[in-house]
Amino acid sequence: MESVHDYQLQQNLLITFLFLAIFTGWRTFYARIKRSLSQVTVVIIGGGPVGLLSAFLTLKSGRATNIVVYEERNRKSVLNAQYQLTFDCQSVEFLKAAGIDFDNIEGCRHDNCFTTKVGVFLEYILDYLTVSGVNVSIRFHKKVTNKYFSL
Ligand SMILES: Cc1cc2nc3c(=O)[nH]c(=O)nc-3n(C[C@H](O)[C@H](O)[C@H](O)COP(=O)(O)OP(=O)(O)OC[C@H]3O[C@@H](n4cnc5c(N)ncnc54)[C@H](O)[C@@H]3O)c2cc1C
């Protein structure tokens, strides 16, 4: 009598476990499908180091379908920016892990920091974004003003 009871208990546990596994699996699967079908456009204002790095990291996240960067200066003046940009060692490590190949950027290293010209760095990122295959649009000579927002 007791063994029949144990058997029923085991069966109930098994059914509950299977039900939970199917439910969790289905929810995960559904969330993935939903995410892959959703269209996400990320708009970034400013094509300086922070703006273009944001575009780069957004691209790397694989979550955006479209990335649009508005930059008020023209491409030439962005790429001709001669002032310096220094990444401390933590930023270098973080960006290396994200896919930035510092060995392919003209600049100098010192104490694990990396210094380059802003224009050089931006050109590297722009090249990367252009060949990525994701829909990335860099709109130079477009200043974002209040008229862009319908509040
Ligand atoms: C002369 C000089 C020397 C420097 N030397 C060093 C150094 O030795 N080491 C170092 O680490 N850092 C240095 N810096 C600082 C470094 O260059 C900045 O920290 C860096 O450029 C900041 O990047 P950012 O993207 O935040 O801003 P920015 O480089 O200012 O980029 C912002 C961009 O947004 C665009 N923008 C702004 N508003 C709008 C709008 N409404 N619509 C569209 N586009 C818009 C601007 O045109 C600009 O291109 C120096 C800076 C200067 C100016």
- Which pLDDT tens digit goes with each residue over 71-113? 999 999 999 998 999 999 999 999 999 999 999 999 999 999 9
Distances from the Cα of 146 to the Cα of 33, 53, 102, 141, angstroms? 36, 24, 37, 16
What the block records as the tokens of 79 is: 């790429």
- Please list every protein residue whose CB sits less than 6 Å from any atom of ligand 1: 45-51, 70-73, 83-86, 118, 143-144
115, β-bridge pairs: 86, 108
Q: Which of 57, 78, 83, 114 to mutate to test the pocket of ligand 1 (most atoms within 8 A of CB)?
A: 83
Cβ–Cβ contacts within 10 Å for residue 84, how many? Answer: 12
pLDDT in tens, 6-38: 999 999 999 999 999 999 999 999 988 887 777
| The pLDDT value given to residue 3 | 81
Average of pLDDT values for 114-118?
97
* pLDDT over 80 at 133, yes or no: no
**Closest residue by CA, ligand 1 atom 23:** 49
- Please give the model's pTM, rounded to 2 decimal places: 0.80
For ligand 1, atom 53, name the residue with the nearest CA.
83
